[in-house]
C-alpha cells in the first residue's frame, strides 16, 4: 500500500483551490436567489416602520432565516461536492487532483459513497474545534485530520 501521506500544507492548498471552485459555483446559485429576494425585501423595507419593535423583530427574523438557509445550502453543496468527487474513480476533489493527492480507506482502497459522506460530514466536527481538527494532520503519524481518524481514511500522494 502507498504510505506516502499528504501533509498539512498540501492539503491546505487543496482546500483553498476547492474553496475557490465551490465559491464560484455557489455564486451562480446564490446571486440570482439573493437578487430576487433582495428586490422583494427592499420593497417591504420601504413600507416598514422600523421603530415598531414587532416589525423590526420580524425583519431580523427574516434576515436570520435567510442566513441560516444560505449556511445550510452552502454546507450541503460543499459536502456533496467532496463526497461525490472522493467516492468517484478520481478519488479526489479538483484541488486534491491538482496536487496529485487521493483519498482512500486505511487499506488504500477507493471510498464508497457512504464512507466519503461520513468523512465529509465529520469535517463539521473539525471545523467546530476551531480548525484544530484540520491542524492535527500536521502532527499525526499518518497525516490524518480529525475527520480522517473518525472515518478511517487517508489522504495520499499518488505514486
The dihedrals phi and psi of 2, each to the nearest 5 degrees, come to: -70, 120
Instruction: Using the predicted structure, report yes or no on whether residue 2 has a pLDDT greater than 80.
Output: no
Instruction: Using the predicted structure, report yes or no on whether residue 159 has a pLDDT greater than 70.
Output: yes
Percent of the chain with pLDDT over 70: 94
Instruction: Using the predicted structure, report yes or no on whether residue 46 has a pLDDT greater than 70.
Output: no
pLDDT of residue 20: 97
**Residues 6 or more apart from 92 whose CB is under 8 A from it?**
85, 86, 101, 102, 103
* Structural element, H or E, at residue 105: strand 101-105
Instruction: Using the predicted structure, report yes or no on whether residue 37 has a pLDDT greater than 80.
Output: no
By residue count, the chain amounts to 159
Once rounded to an integer, what is the mean pLDDT over residues 23-51? Answer: 77
pLDDT of residue 47: 72
**pLDDT tens for each residue of 82-111:** 999 999 999 999 999 999 999 999 999 999
* Per-position DSSP letters for 32-79, written without gaps between them: HHHHHHHHHHHHHHHH--TTSHHHHHHHHHHHHHHHHHHHHHHHHHHH
DSSP 2: -
**pLDDT tens for each residue of 55-92:** 888 878 888 988 898 899 999 999 999 999 999 999 99
pLDDT of residue 31: 84
Residue 73 neighbours by CB distance under 10 Å: 14
Instruction: Using the predicted structure, report yes or no on whether residue 40 has a pLDDT greater than 80.
Output: no
Amino acid at each position: 500500500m502507498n504510505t506516502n501521506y499528504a501533509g498539512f500544507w498540501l492539503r491546505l492548498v487543496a482546500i483553498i483551490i476547492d474553496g475557490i471552485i465551490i465559491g464560484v459555483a455557489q455564486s451562480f446559485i446564490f446571486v440570482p436567489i439573493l437578487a430576487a429576494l433582495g428586490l422583494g425585501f427592499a420593497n417591504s423595507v420601504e413600507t416598514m416602520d422600523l421603530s415598531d419593535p414587532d416589525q423590526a423583530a420580524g425583519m431580523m427574523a427574516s434576515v436570520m432565516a435567510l442566513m441560516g438557509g444560505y449556511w445550510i445550502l452552502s454546507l450541503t453543496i460543499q459536502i456533496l461536492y467532496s463526497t461525490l468527487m472522493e467516492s468517484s474513480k478520481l478519488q479526489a476533489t479538483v484541488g486534491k487532483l491538482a496536487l496529485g493527492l487521493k483519498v482512500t480507506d486505511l487499506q488504500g482502497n477507493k471510498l464508497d459513497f457512504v464512507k466519503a459522506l461520513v468523512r465529509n460530514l465529520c469535517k463539521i466536527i473539525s471545523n467546530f474545534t476551531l480548525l484544530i481538527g484540520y491542524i492535527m494532520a500536521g502532527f499525526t503519524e499518518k497525516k490524518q485530520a480529525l475527520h480522517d481518524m473518525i472515518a478511517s481514511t487517508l489522504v495520499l500522494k499518488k505514486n
